[in-house]
Structure 1
Amino acid sequence: MAVGKAMLIFVFTLATLIPSLLADIGIFDDVWQKRAQDAKKMTLEAYVPDPEEATDAFNVEVNKYSLAKNSSSLYGAFGSTNITNLDLDDDDNDNDNDADFEQFANSTRRNLRQGRKKYAGPCQVTNPIDRCWRCQRNWAKNRKQLAKCALGFGRRTTGGMAGRIYVVTDSSDNNVMKPKPGTLRHAVIQKEPLWIIFSKNMNIKLSKELIMSSHKTIDGRGHHVHISYGGGITIQFIHNVIIHGIRIHHIIATSGGNIRDSVDHYGIRTNSDGDGISIFGSTDVWIDHVSMSRCTDGLIDAIMGSTAITISNCHFTHHNDAILLGASDSYSGDHLMQVTVAFNHFGQGLVQRMPRCRWGFFHVVNNDYTHWRLYAIGGSKHPTIISQGNRFIAPPESHLKQVTKRDYATKGEWSKWTWRSENDLMMNGAFFVQSGQPRTKKPNRKFMIKAKPGAVATRMTRFAGALDCKPGRKC
C-alpha cells in the first residue's frame, strides 16, 4: 500500500513537471511532448520498487565469479583452496570471523596498471561484465554478445541488439540537418535499432550536440574512436542505449539552432552545456569501457527522471565535476533514479562528484579512487548511497581525507540519510562518514557458495576505460 501510494505521488510529480523541463529544446513541439510522455512511462516501468534486490543480484554475480576464480588468492590468505570451507555467511547464529572476511575481500581487489608496463600475458577475465565476452577470440563476429552482459540497474539494456550492424565510415559532421550516410550522426537518428561500429580509427568533432534515438549501441571496439573538441552526446527522452569502448574528451559548449533528431523531425535547440554524455529523462542506459576527460561541464550527467542506468569499467581523469546524478534539489521526480556505478577508475586530475547524488538510490561498487581534490562521493536531498568494495586512496592533505560530502543539510537532517560503507578499503587516512540505519535485509542468494550480504569480494577491472581490442584477439 505504501509503495503504491508513493508511486502515485511520483506519477503526479512527473506529470506536472515534465512539460516545463525543456532542457536544451528551443521549441517544445508535439513531437517532443510525446517523447516526454513516453519517457515518463518508461521511467515508471524501469523503476525497481525494491532496489536492494538489484544490488544483491549484482553482488551475487561478483561473488560467484571471485570465489570460484580466485582460489589462488584464497590459498595465500587462508591456507586452503577449498573455498566452500570458508564461512562468509551473515547468519547471526554462526561464528563469522569478520577479520578473515575483510582479509579475503581485500585480497582479491583489482590491480590497475596505473602507468606500469602494459600487460601482455594471456587473457584474464576481470569482472562478471567482461567475463561475458572479453576472452572470446571471435568477439568481433559476435559483437552483440555484449548486449547480454549488463549488470546493475541498467541490466535490461540491450541497445541495438535487435537491429542490423551499421558501419560508420566517415568522421565528418558537416550538416546537422541532413547528416551524411556513413556518419555517426546519420546512424544515431535512425528509427530502427542499430548496432553502430566503426571502419577505422577516427576522431569525430561534433559540430553540435549529438542527439540519439532509442535502441542504439555505439560500439568502438576494434579501433581508437574519439569524440572530442566539439559537442557531446545527448540521450534525451529515449531508452535502451549502450555506449561502449570509445574515448570522449575536450567536449565544448556548442551553439544551438536547428538540429535533426530523427529521420522525420528536427527542432530548435538552445546552446549545449558541454557535457560529455548528458542523460535527460531516459532509461535503460549502459555506459561501459568509456574513457572521459576535460569536458566543459560534466563528464556524465543523468537528470530529470532518468533511471535504470549502469556506468561501468570507465576511466575518468582531469576534470572538476565528474558525474552528476540528479541536477536539482527541487525536482522530486528523481526519487525514481536508480544508478549503478561499478568497476570504474577515478584517476588523475579529478576534483569532485564521483558521483554527486540527489534523491534516488545509488550503488557505488568496486571502483578505484586514486585522486580527488574536494571529495569523492557527495549528495543532497537524502539520496541512498551504498558504497561497497571500493578502494579509496586519500590525498596527502589532512583536510581532504573524508570520502563523503553532504551539501546544504544540517547533521540533524543528513544523519537520517542512508549512506553505508561496506567492505571498502580505506587507505592513506581516507574515511567514509556513514549515516542512517545499517542495512539488515538478507539477500536472496541462489548459488552454492554463501557470501556475506552486501559484501563484494573483488574489484578486478584490470583495464578501465576504452579497450584496445583488435578483431581475432582476446581483449
Structure 2
Amino acid sequence: MASPSLSLLLFFLFSLLSPNLIFSSPSSSSPSVQDPHLVAQDVERSINASRRQLGYLSCGTGNPIDDCWRCDPNWEKNRQRLADCGIGFGKNAIGGKNGRIYVVTDSGDDDPVNPKPGTIRHAVIQSEPLWIIFARDMVIQLKEELIMNSYKTLDGRGASVHIANGPCITIQYVTNIIIHGLHVHDCKQGGNAYVRDSPDHYGWRTVSDGDGISIFGGSHVWVDHCSLSNCNDGLIDAIHGSTAITLSNNFMTHHDKVMLLGHSDSYTQDKNMQVTIAFNHFGEGLVQRMPRCRHGYFHVVNNDYTHWEMYAIGGSAAPTINSQGNRFLAPNQRFNKEVTKREEASESEWKNWNWRSEGDLLLNGAFFTPSGAGASSSYARASSLGARPSSLVGTITVSSGALACRKGSRC
C-alpha cells in the first residue's frame, strides 16, 4: 500500500482530474470524503491497467528481462518484443528487430561459400535485418565458423536448437546481434578454408580458436538464455575492441576457460570495452575465467556461482570490476576458496586496480579480495543496472539457460 503522504498526494491529484468527487466534513449529511488510501489504490490500479494496455508485462520473478516478455502466452506471435527487453551495456542491441522472419528449415551446412537457402548460414550472412527462427528441433554441425552479418537475431524459442560438434558462432566487426535460446557446445576449431560472410563477399579464414561464441571487434551484442559447455577454447570471448555487450541468463557448465574479455595486456583499445554479466548460472565442472577481464569496465551482477576449481573472477591490465549482488558458493575442497585472481601483476601494482564487492553473498569460506581506491567515476562507468539483493539470486537465475518454450503458453 502507498505511504500516507503518497496516498494524500494521489488523492488530491485524483480530485483535480475528477470534478465530480464530493468533499464534505464527516459530520455533514452529504456523502463522506473518500479514504485517501482507497483513492491511491484506484489510481495505482488505473496506472497498471494503462501499462498493460501499452504492453508492459510483469511475471514477478525479479528478473527484469524475463518479466518483460516471458508471461506473454502469445510470445510466438510477438517474438520481436524481446529486442525491447535488454538490460546493461548491451541493452541497445536490436538484432533483427523490424526485419522479416527467416525460418531455418535445413540443419545442413554443406557449402560455407555458397550456403543453401533455408540453412542458418544462408540466414546470418544476409545484408538485411532478419529475425531468424527454427522450424523444428535440430542439431546443426557447422563445417566452418558461422560468421554473422549485422542486425541479426538467432531466436531458438519454440525448438531445441543445438550448435555443436563443429566450429561455432563468430561475431566479427559487426553490430546489433541478439543470440537467444540456443544450446552451444562441443565447439571445435575451424579454418584454413574459404567462408562467406555476406551475399557479396567471402574470404580465407585461418585457424579459429574453437570458441562457443567469439565476439571480435563487435558492438551492441546481447547473448541471453543460452546453454553453453565443453568448447575447445572459451565459451564466450570478447576481444579486439568489442564493447556494449550484455551476457545474461546463460547456464554454463563443464568447461575450463569460460569467458575471456579483453585480447591482451598490450591491446589498449580494449580500454573502451563495457560488458554486463547478469543473472547467469556458473555451474558444475567450471574451472576459471567467469570472467577474466582486461582494461575495460565490467559489471558482474546477480549471478549464481556454484562451482569453480581455480577462481571465479580474474583479470590483468587494470580492469574495473564491479561485483554486486552475486552469490558465491566456494567449492568443498580445502583450497581455492578465493573468488578473485590477479594475473601477471605484483601486489604493488594490482592494489590500485578498482575491484569491489558490494552486497555479494559469500558462502562456504568464499572470499573476495577487493582493491583500489574505489573512485566513484570508475564504478559509475562500470555500472549498468541496479543490483537486486543477493538473497534473490536463486529466484532470478532459476531459469538460466535455453528455455523449453512451447507455442500457445508462457515460456
The answer to whether the 8 A contact 2:153-2:179 is kept is yes
Is the Cα–Cα contact under 8 Å of residues 304 and 397 in structure 2 kept in the other structure? Answer: no
2:302 maps to 1:366: yes
C-alpha distance in 2, partners of 1:257/1:381?
34
Distance 1:178 1:442, change over 3 A: closer
The amino acid across from 1:330 in the alignment is S
Q: Distance in 2 between matches of 1:229 and 1:367?
A: 28
2:233 is matched with which residue: 297, 301, 310? 297
Secondary structure, in 3 states, of the residue corresponding to 2:397?
coil
Q: 2:95 aligns with which of 145, 153, 159?
A: 159
TM-score, length of structure 1 as denominator length: 0.71
Distance 1:429-1:133 versus aligned 2 partners, 3 A rule:
same
The alignment status of 1:281 with 2:217, answered yes or no, reads: yes
Alpha-carbon RMSD across the aligned residues, in angstroms, is 2.0
For 1:139, what is the secondary structure of its paired residue?
coil
Give the structure 2 partner of residue 340 of structure 1. Answer: 276
CA drift at 1:461: 2.5
2:313 matches 1:405? no
Q: Distance in 1 between matches of 2:123 and 2:406?
A: 23
CA separation of 1:340 and 1:383: change in aligned 2, threshold 3 A: same
1:195-234 alpha-carbon deviations (Å, 9 max, x no partner): 0000000000001000000000000000000000011100
> How many Å separate the matches in 2 of 1:386 and 1:201?
39
Aligned to 2:41: none
2:388 alignment partner, one of 456, 462, 467: 456
Shift, 1:257, TM fit: 1.2
The 5 A counterparts of 1:10-49 are: none
Instruction: Name whichever structure is richer in helix by fraction.
Output: 1
Opposite residue 317 of structure 2, the aligned amino acid is K
CA contact (8 A) 1:124 1:135 kept: no
Instruction: Name the structure, 1 or 2, with higher relative contact order (CA <8 Å, separation 6+).
Output: 1
Structure 1 residues 359 and 148, CA gap change in structure 2 (3 angstroms): same
Question: Equivalent residue of 1:463, what SS?
Answer: coil
Residues 366-423 of structure 1: CA distance to partner in whole angstroms, max 9, x if unpaired? Answer: 0000000000000000000000000000012232110000001111110100000000
1:277 maps to amino acid: I
The amino acid that maps onto 2:146 is L
Structure 1 segments of 4+ aligned residues over 4 angstroms from their partners: 81-85, 439-444
Question: What whole-Å deviation, never above 9, does each CA across 1:306-347 have from its counterpart, x for those lacking one?
Answer: 000000000000000000000211100000000000000000
Instruction: Report what 2:127 is aligned to.
Output: 191
Query: Which residue of 2 is the match for residue 264 of structure 1?
Result: 200
* Contact in 2 for aligned 1:308/1:337 (Cα 8 Å): yes
**Stretches of structure 2 lacking an aligned partner (at least 5 in a row):** 6-58
- Structure 2 contact 179–222 (Cα < 8 Å) conserved: yes
Please list, as runs of the form range in 1=range in 2, the aligned pairs for 1:30-179 lying within 5 A after superposition: 125-179=61-115
Q: Which residue of 2 aligns with 1:331?
A: 267
Q: 1:295 to 1:84 in 2, by over 3 A?
A: farther
- Say whether 1:238 aligns with 2:174: yes
Give the paired residue count.
351
Q: Secondary structure at the match of 2:76?
A: helix
- The letter for the 2-side match of 1:456 is R
Structure 1 equivalent of residue 243 of structure 2: 307
CA distance in 2, matches of 1:436, 1:456: 24
Q: Percent identity?
A: 60
TM-score w.r.t. length of structure 2: 0.82
| 5+ long unaligned stretches in structure 1 | 1-80, 86-122, 445-452
Per-residue Cα deviation, 1:56-104 (whole angstroms, up to 9, x for no partner): xxxxxxxxxxxxxxxxxxxxxxxxx87999xxxxxxxxxxxxxxxxxxx
For the residues of structure 2 that align with 1:320 and 1:276, how far apart are their CA atoms? 13
In structure 2, distance between residues paired with 1:83 and 1:330 = 55
Decide whether the 8 Å contact of 2:302 with 2:387 is kept in 1. no
Residue 143 of structure 1 aligns with an amino acid whose one-letter code is R
Match of 1:78 in 2: none
Q: 1:84 to 1:376 in 2, by over 3 A?
A: farther
Report SS of the residue matched to 2:266: coil
Q: Is the 8 A contact 1:422 1:455 kept in 2?
A: no
